[in-house]
Amino acid sequence: MRCWTATSRGSPRQALTLNPAAPTPSLPADGPPSSSSSSSSSSLVLVRITHVTLNPADLNTLRLLPPWLPFRRAPVPGMDFAGEVVALGGSRASTDADAAPPPPLRVGDRVCGAAGLREVFTGRGTLAEFVLLDRALVTPVPAGWGGREAAGTMGIAGQTATAMVKRVVPGGDLRSDRRGLEGRRVLVNGASGGVGTVLVQICKGLGAAEVVGVCSGANEGLVKGLGADEVVDYRLHDPLETHLVERFGEHQFDVIFDCAGSQGLYSCSPGYLKPEGRFVSIVGGWSQGVVPYIRNKLRPVFLGGTPRSYDLFLLSASGEIAREVATLVEQGVIKQAVIDSEFPMEQAVEAFEKLATGRARGKIVVNISNS
């Protein structure tokens, strides 16, 4: 098969090589492949990939994880995927902590989702014509959705957006509680990116009284079209926090979702976030994630800490969350996938370079099958 491999650490152009003849993964011999029957018990799925969407974490993996580690031989990058089931079987134990058994799959089914942390660390990613995945990471493509839309929405971005909302909805069950955000006022920072474009739709679809998106003015129409009641242009209003205090000081938010990684947004939040309000960030790394996490979580208010709750979390991709996203699609809560641009498989480096600008509107697609 053809696949992209990381041959060194660094920028996409330095790190990535297109391998035209890599071995196609196959089901292990200890579990006979099931090529015609349906299966909900098989633990492995061989998927022929049609579309991959990229995430900032893919860039971080290229920059940070050396390919010479013994457990990362010829590592393939990529997490999000959509494709078709080629074979089912295998008996490798799943590590996914799925509560409910996944729905049955058949050869030929269209599936989507995201590879998990284990696949990322061992370099068994999705930027390839075939990938062998734990069954627990895979979910059927919602009816009426194409591969590029499914990869972009049921992949890391949509799973993260869904998991963020679950953290602030009592009980955390978005599928049965369709009014989980009813009456609440929500701010989404980074509303035009891969995560933000899904987040705005979920917040509005789950009954938020008001959704305010923060992005550059060029993306105002996009974010309003996804359901935001108001958009704040962070370039026009600099510093953003001063404007938020003036504009929302009297009508404070119940929830702030930070998809852009702003310490100032949290530090100044008492000016526009209710005392019992929730601040949820997903932006990791050392300077934007670890240091603020320690400072914001551990510093008491009397030593200058911010008197608002702070939550930073790292998604662990799973089929269970992917299925929750798919249900939100089927219920019409998530109405559209926002696609920034699409590149053929041969131009994956250019796709990564577009991602690295930090200016993507929604998801960047790599079309593996030219479909």
Ligand X SMILES: NC(=O)c1ccc[n+]([C@@H]2O[C@H](COP(=O)([O-])OP(=O)(O)OC[C@H]3O[C@@H](n4cnc5c(N)ncnc54)[C@H](OP(=O)(O)O)[C@@H]3O)[C@@H](O)[C@H]2O)c1
Binding-site ranges for ligand X (CB under 6 A): 55-57, 156-157, 160, 189-190, 192-196, 214-216, 219, 234, 259-261, 282-284, 313-315, 355, 358-361
Q: Minimum Å distance from CB 166 to ligand X?
A: 13
Residue with tokens 């061989």: 46
| Closest CB to ligand X among residues 75, 116 | 116
Closer by beta carbon to ligand X, 129 or else 230: 230
Q: Which is nearer to ligand X, 5 or 53 (CB)?
A: 53
Residue whose C-alpha is closest to residue 212's, from 272, 281, 157: 272
Q: Closest separation between CB of residue 343 and ligand X, Å?
A: 15
As given in the structure block, the two tokens for residue 45 are 């799925």
Query: How many other CB atoms sit within 10 Å of the CB of residue 209?
Result: 14
Q: Tell the smallest beta-carbon distance from residue 25 to ligand X (Å).
A: 26
Nearest to 159 by CA among 174, 170, 144, 176: 174
* C-beta closer to ligand X: residue 173 or 238: 238
Nearer to ligand X, 290 or 307 (CB): 290
- At 299, which amino acid appears? R
CB-based burial, 265-281: b 16+ in 10 Å, e otherwise: bbbbbbebbbeebbbbb
Q: In sequence order, what E strands does 165-219 have?
A: 185-189, 210-215
- Please list the helix, strand and coil fractions of the chain in percent, rounded to the nearest 5, in that order: 35, 25, 40
- What is the C-alpha R_g of the chain? 21
Q: Which residue is nearest to ligand X (CB)?
A: 193
Query: Which CB atom, from 43 or from 219, has the smaller least distance to ligand X?
Result: 219
**Smallest gap from residue 89 Cβ to ligand X (A):** 31
Question: Residue 304 has which token pair?
Answer: 């200058």
Nearer residue to ligand X within complex by CB, 125 or 194: 194
Task: Answer whether the bond into residue 101 is a cis peptide, omega within 30°.
Answer: no
Q: How far is the CB of 79 from ligand X (least distance, A)?
A: 10
Measure the CA–CA gap between 200 and 187, rounded to whole angstroms: 9
Task: Report the residue number, 51 or 361, with the smaller CB distance to ligand X.
Answer: 361
Is residue 234 within 8 Å of residue 210, measured between CB atoms? no
CB 265 → ligand X: shortest distance, Å?
9
Residue 234's nearest CA partner among 358, 55, 363 is 358
Q: Of the two residues 56 and 292, which places its CB atom closer to ligand X in the complex?
A: 56
- Rounded to the nearest whole angstrom, what is the least distance from the CB of residue 321 to ligand X in the complex? 11
Closest CB 214 distance from ligand X, rounded Å: 5
Burial label, 42 (beta-carbon count in 10 A; 0-12, 13-18, 19+): buried
Q: At closest approach, how far in Å is the CB of 297 from ligand X?
A: 15
Residues 6+ apart with CB under 8 A from 21: 1, 2
Query: Are the C-beta atoms of residues 23 and 96 closer than 8 Å to each other?
Result: no
